Amino acid sequence: MTTHEYDVAVVGAGTTGCYAAATIQNEGLDAVIVERKDADEAGHIACGDALKGASAFPEAIPKSRIEPSFTNTGVDHGRFEIPTQNTVVDIPVPGELAVIDRFDYGRRLIEGAKAAGVDFHFDTVVQDVQQDATGQVTGLEATRKGDHITYDTEMVIDGAGALSILQDKADLADATFDTNVQYSQFCSAYREVIHVDEPVEWDDALVFKPTERSAGYIWYFPRTDTEINAGLGFQMNEEPMELVDALRRDLNERPEFDNATVEDKLGAALPTRRPYDSAVAPGFIAAGDAAGHVNPTTGGGIAGAAYAGQYAGEQAVEAISDGTVEEAALWEYNERVMDHFGSRYAALDVYNIFVTAYDIDDLTAMLAALPVENLSEALYSGSTNVSWLLKIKTAIKTIGHWGTIRDLYQTKELADNVLDHYESYPTSPSSFADWQSQRDTLLDQVYETTGAEPKY
């Protein structure tokens, strides 16, 4: 048996883990990243490769280190293909977009964390979480090639991704940590990286297309004009979909993929849920996919995961330096996440709930009829105010969909209410239960308006 002592053990060598560990190391404490993949495979993660918020990243790993993996910075809009209406809808997306080579990006992250002094223990599988008599997390139990390994630490940061085993193993019942996590809040996804002979004409767009399921979509994201990340997913509360076969059928119907070759293929479970209400417990912080830090309407989460890693690392350093890693000492991490992106992601989750309650053909027909550029601006602005001219144009163009349109506008108002509530996230655990109760009342209104089944 081998025992290691570190200030902080970080589980997972993804975006969150690398930024968290590099932040800790840069502040003068010792961090180790425990990664189940071997050194050659680490960084190889199933991802759509699209990155929103490409203009800003934490400085713990300088952007200059990872920027060479940004293979397409010319994308500037979403392109929604609606076969039932024989139309395509282009929707502008504010902010800087990029499509990346995810494996190259992952390798550059690891090298950046190594440059900061972080130790990596590859090929190491976490088996259990150590806790003392008070419930404080004090380390990990793991195995590497048959050897039992113990990590004795001041804190553990969970960057192990969706459905993390750490949260199954740790007893978090007495903490505020969000344990309302179930399979229906996740999606099953599969993607291939495909090389085509001729440049695609939509290399400036993120292409989306509905599947036969209302809560799923196919995507085509151009890494370059001849290298495409193609994938799809479905909500796990839906009837299972044969993902590989479904993607192959769609590829076979697209002439631009004639004679294409598959360069890589990978699947994963991804969170399509709001951020965890609280992602802290004594001695323990969860971040990134392990805490639902993903945009539930698109699945995007790389930039959020990077900042969540930074915030987790900084909070760990502050708590250890102050001599206490109790829940209250870690609470500011929750506040920073909600203030930066968590509130917006929670509001976007309301739209994810909305689409589960409607027939896919009705939704796509409505999308084809709407003045989507104006609505896109309204949705991203965070305002429910829509001009009378826009309302009149919408009414004329959407005869036959007025009921769904009405529900969408009502849902928009409810999403704004949810956003406002999250922007008043409590400043301490003492008022957390009241905040949750008020939020749940808002969600009850969402379910009543949309007719959707409760998600949480």
For domain 79-91+184-271, which CATH number applies: 3.30.930.10, 3.30.420.40, 3.40.50.2300, 3.30.9.10? 3.30.9.10
pTM assigned to the model: 0.92
Q: How far is residue 77's CA from residue 428's CA, in Å, rounded to a whole number?
A: 39
Rg (CA), the chain: 22
Residue in the structure block whose two tokens are 């830090």: 293
Same fold, 2-73+98-179+273-342 and 79-91+184-271: no
248, two tokens? 């192959």
* Segments making up each domain of the chain, as ranges: 2-73+98-179+273-342, 79-91+184-271, 347-450
Domain 2-73+98-179+273-342 CATH superfamily: FAD/NAD(P)-binding domain (3.50.50.60)
255, two tokens? 């002439």
CA distances from 437 to 423, 427, 434, 440, 444 (A): 15, 16, 5, 5, 11
- pLDDT per residue rounded down to tens, the chain (456 residues): 899 999 999 999 999 999 999 999 999 999 999 999 999 999 999 888 999 887 888 999 999 999 999 999 999 998 988 887 788 888 887 778 899 999 999 999 999 999 999 999 999 999 999 999 999 999 999 999 999 999 999 999 999 999 899 999 999 999 999 999 988 898 889 999 999 999 999 999 999 998 866 567 899 999 999 999 999 988 887 777 889 999 999 999 999 999 999 999 999 888 999 999 999 999 999 999 999 998 877 777 899 999 999 999 999 999 999 999 999 999 999 999 999 999 999 999 998 888 887 766 666 665 666 555 555 544 444 444 445 444 444 444 444 555 666 777 788 899 999 999 999 999 999 999 999 999 999 999 999 999 999 999
Give the single-character DSSP code of 428: S
Q: How far is residue 433's CA from residue 437's CA, in Å, rounded to a whole number?
A: 6
**Among candidates 160, 176, 112, 144, which has minimal Cα distance to 10?**
160
Helix axis angle, 302-322 relative to 15-26, nearest 10°? Answer: 40
Q: In this structure, what are the phi and psi dihedrals at residue 384, rounded to the nearest 5 degrees?
A: -90, 0
Q: Are 35 and 13 in contact (CB under 8 A)?
A: yes
